[in-house]
Amino acid sequence: MEQNFYDIICVGAGVVGCAAAKAFGQDNRRVLVLERDLSEPDRIVGELMQPGGIDALKILGLEDCTKDIDGIPCYGYCLFRDGEYIHVPYPNKPISDNDQDQQKKATGITFHHGRFIQKLRQQARNTNNVTVLEMTVNSLIRKDGQEQVIGVVAQEKGKKDPVTFYAPLTIVADGIFSKFRKEFIDLKPDVRSNFVGFIAPNLTLPLPQHGFVAIVDPSPVLMYQISSNETRVLVDVLEPVPSTSNGALKDHLIKTVLPQLPNDMQPALQEALHDQTLRTMPNGFLPPSANQCLGVMILGDAMNIRHPLTGGGMTVALHDVILLQQLLSQTNIPDLQSSDDLIMQALDCFHWKRKRHATPINILAMSLYRLFAAGDNPALLQLQAACVDYFQLGGECVNGPVRLLSGLTQSVWSLIYHFYAVAFYAIYLQWSASSDNIWICCVKSWQLLYIACITIFPYIFSEVKL
């Protein structure tokens, strides 16, 4: 078999693989990116880049990847609940750290995922020291008698003989359906629901250039415009998902979900449902795990998954790449080939340092989804209503949570503060509207506080454990 040597091998040419190739290639590392299929991917998620992700793209020199793909600027969200629209805009942010008085509107962007990925791949190809090949990685190469990974075995389509590639570090970034995750991580993604996706042509959203979230029973619907005349519709459907083969899933959307959406949107959505084949994508939760094996790093959705309701996955992934490149930079580790101990220390440090940017987004995504998918749980429905009312208070009550959601604020304490502010606001609203005696009100208040705790604490715990 042919043998090839690099500093870093990236398995997967998605957001993480391409961003890592660009970052490490610019740092004079020889990088190989291997991707099973380099044609334009067609996915129903990964189509919203939050403002925090835009900032990360700029740091990586990849901001041009959102240009010339018919993307749509996004300035926040419009929530719909019980027939009422609630505007949840992105907050303003300083133009520079040196001039806090001058501010501009934080902006995200929505787009076709595949077009964005192809731009990233082109940037990777155009980076010195980077090689991008269309090959399937069959296996990882282990050092004789040890767990250490020293390379990969890959095969080109149509070719009989595999090729070996060697590197002191292999970055596994092969996505939510990772082929290699189970070799290093004992946990499996905990799938709670599925996004059922389709495109509605020429659908007019209540607020242009805003994401639209309809809080319906039993779980939410998300929409955003991804090109000049196309709107992505994602319906969260709880497990078990009705069958597509016998039409049960489409019937569920038409008879159960559609009537709960705004009346003026229903004709266009019904027409789109009639014309298109539905596609599904599992929504799960996979807490981050510390790297335990020398020579390999699991990144992106292969390592850490949160519900895509808040669109934070790419923001987390890009900041992960920035942090990893900083820890493994030429300044810190001049030669990766003979620095096993230094690499392992850097990867261990990475696990804890990434919590600053990843933990708030992970916890917020899962806890907010639990509120928005309250079903028939009375206490969760009260918290859900209080959350929406809390946003309507304006000021920091909306700016604080949205800064967390958009990746502009990296603070777990801010998240906890706002989450419990919502919980106590729910208690306040209950006392204000209740005609029950004081003891019943106290019991209901404790129930609300208990539900709030069991909603957020499992996700906090998952972030602080190894």
What is the pLDDT averaged over residues 232-244? 95
pLDDT at 238: 95
Secondary structure string (H, E, C) spanning 133-200:
EECEEEEEEECCCCCCEEEEEEECCCCCCCEEEECCEEEECCCCCCCCHHHCCCCCCEEEEEEEEEEE
Confirm whether 163 is domain-assigned.
yes
pLDDT tens digits along 163-204:
999 999 999 999 999 999 999 999 899 998 999 999 999 899
d(CA 16, CA 315): 10
Q: Does residue 208 share a domain with residue 67?
A: no
Domain boundary (301, 329, 356) is at 356
What is the pLDDT averaged over residues 339-365? 95
Confirm whether 103 is domain-assigned.
no
Confirm whether 365 is domain-assigned.
no
- % of the chain at pLDDT higher than 70: 97
d(CA 71, CA 260): 29
Distance of CA 235 to the CA centre of its chain: 17
pLDDT tens digits along 259-285:
999 999 999 999 999 988 999 999 999
Residue with tokens 């777990």: 412
Confirm whether 87 is domain-assigned.
no
Instruction: Identify the helix (H) or strand (E) that includes residue 284.
Output: strand 279-285
pLDDT at 1: 45
Whole-number mean pLDDT of the chain? 94
Domain extent, residue 61, equals 3-71+111-186+287-356
Residue 153 and residue 162 in contact, taking contact as beta carbons nearer than 8 Å: yes
CATH number at residue 244: 3.30.70
pLDDT tens digits along 96-119:
555 555 578 899 999 999 999 999
Q: What are phi and psi of 97, to 5 degrees?
A: -65, -25
Q: Does residue 33 share a domain with residue 165?
A: yes
Instruction: Pick the closest to residue 11 from 183, 187, 143, 140 (CA basis).
Output: 140
Q: What are phi and psi of 214, to 5 degrees?
A: -100, 120
Instruction: Identify the helix (H) or strand (E) that includes residue 72.
Output: strand 72-74
CA angle at residue 142 from 295 to 16, to 5 degrees? 40
Q: Does residue 386 share a domain with residue 322?
A: no
Q: Does residue 40 share a domain with residue 121?
A: yes
Per the structure, how many domains does the chain have? 3
Q: What are phi and psi of 221, to 5 degrees?
A: -120, 135
CA distance readout (Å), 50 to 59, 71, 200, 320 = 15, 13, 22, 15
**List of residues 6+ apart from 1 with CB closer than 8 A:** 153, 161, 162, 163, 164
Q: Does residue 58 share a domain with residue 145?
A: yes
Q: Does residue 324 share a domain with residue 268?
A: no
